[in-house]
Amino acid sequence: MNVILNLLLIPRYAATGAAVATVISYASAGYFACFVHPRTREAAWMMSRALAVPVRALIHLSRALGRAAGRGR
């Protein structure tokens, strides 16, 4: 994953792109490693639910703003 992200990010963002690629790679490896061992799977699912909450909130917010913008015309 790190190699692919480096190929995508380094040409445009140089050293910052390499740093971002490394952070994303390490974070995703740690996240997916929690699913491997049975004793940590519950924590992995809790992390998944915690990551989904802000995404759901943004979806609801964008829908509400879209409806409000439609009424303002």
The 10s digit of each residue's pLDDT in 2-60 is: 999 999 999 999 999 999 999 999 999 999 999 999 999 999 999 999 999 999 999 99
Tokens of 41: 């799977």
Determine which helix (DSSP H) or strand (DSSP E) holds 30, and give its type and residue range.
helix 2-33
Taking CA atoms, 13 is separated from 20, 32, 35, in Å, by 9, 27, 32
What is the model's pTM? 0.67
What pLDDT digit, counting tens, does each position of 21-34 carry?
A: 999 999 999 999 99
